[in-house]
Amino acid sequence: MLLMRNRRKTVLKRRALVALGIVALLLIIWIGYGLTHKKPEVNTAKGVKQLQALEKQKVADAQDRIVQAQGLNEVSAAELEATDTDELNARYENTIVMGDSVAEGLEGYGVLDASRVVASRGNSVANLEEYEEAVISLAPANVVMSYGLNDLKSLNEGDDSTRFIEEYSAGIDHLQEQLRDVKIFICSITPVSEAGIAGWGPFSKTGEFNDAIQQMCREKEVTYIDNTSLVKDYAEDGIHPGPSFYEPWAVMIADRAEL
């Protein structure tokens, strides 16, 4: 009888040890699984920094695209950011500048915020309506228009300013119809260098086209802004104004428009 009790105790001990061993094994497996499948901790501060870096890169990329498009590859980042734009942007609070790559340079060189500029490389008076709807939706008090280089670029030999003025005039009419109290300011076409004219003869008609623009402004009673004297240097393409042009141009517009 005593022998049977001892055997029974031995069996129970063995069963207990086996059970403990199984539990221990399961625990080890569970811990191992948890370590190998552990979710990484989320570092929100690091994430914010990465997003900020991405946003800065987007801005830099946009500036680079504009610089490359205008042949200004040698312009440094310091030059792009050198202008203190707070005061100028405050003056342009209720104003939109629309136009081609020259107008786009106001944003590209950091002179005006993107919210003040509705412009793009390749724009001409022929596609004014596409951009006017965006401008109208913003309901600005003032609209500054700068067009002409691409219109000269698309001229055929012997063409004059007739069609250009007709399309420009129609665009102005449309803005005035949709924005009853808007004040409109028309900038002259920036002059092209001799090298630029050598590459495309119709660029020599800048003066002729500016005379036609000035006459149109008198007839429509809108303000003409002659920015010719501000062009001191050129981009590598010899067509677009160099970086020294943009801040004085923005100031000239603001002064003439009494912004």
Per-residue pLDDT of the chain (259 residues; tens, 9 = 90+): 433 344 344 434 444 444 455 545 555 555 554 444 443 343 334 333 433 443 344 344 444 444 444 444 344 444 444 446 799 999 999 999 999 999 999 999 999 999 999 999 999 999 998 899 999 999 999 999 999 999 999 887 678 999 999 999 999 999 999 999 999 999 999 999 999 999 999 999 999 999 999 999 999 999 999 999 999 999 999 999 999 999 999 999 999 999 9
pLDDT of residue 158: 75
The reported pLDDT for the residue numbered 72 is 42
The structural domain count of the chain equals 1
pLDDT at 107: 96
Contacts of 203 (CB under 8 A, 6+ apart): 149, 152, 153, 192, 196, 197, 239
Dist. CA 155–CA 207, nearest whole Å: 15
CATH number, domain with residue 223? 3.40.50.1110
Task: Report pLDDT for 58.
Answer: 36
Residue 11 lies in a domain: no
Query: Within 13 Å of residue 155, how many CA atoms lie on the same side as its CB?
Result: 22
In a domain, 174, yes or no: yes
pTM value is 0.69
Q: Is residue 187 part of a domain?
A: yes
Structure tokens at 19: 């059970």
Please give the pLDDT value at position 43.
39
From CA 226, how far away is CA 229, in angstroms rounded? 8
Q: Does residue 196 lie in a domain region?
A: yes
Q: Tokens in use for 211? A: 């005379």
The pLDDT value given to residue 40 = 36
- Residue 75 has a pLDDT of 41
Residue 205 lies in a domain: yes
Encode the chain in three state secondary structure: CHHHHHHHHHHHHHHHHHHHHHHHHHHHHHHHHHHHCCCCCCCHHHHHHHHHHHHHHHHHHHHHHHHHHCCCCCCCHHHHHCCCCHHHHHHCCCEEEEECHHHHHHHHCCCCCHHHEEECCCCCHHHHHHHHHHHHHHCCCEEEEECCHHHHHCCCCCCCCHHHHHHHHHHHHHHHHHCCCCEEEEECCCCCCHHHHHHCHHHHHHHHHHHHHHHHHHHHCCEEECCHHHCCCECCCCCCECHHHHHHHHHHHHHHCCC
pLDDT at position 24: 54
- Domain containing 193 equals 46-256
Q: Is residue 27 part of a domain?
A: no
Is residue 5 one of the residues assigned to a domain?
no
Task: Report yes or no: 164 and 151 within 8 Å, Cβ to Cβ.
Answer: yes
> For 46, how many CA atoms within 13 A lie in the half-sphere containing its CB?
3
Q: Is 9 inside a domain boundary?
A: no
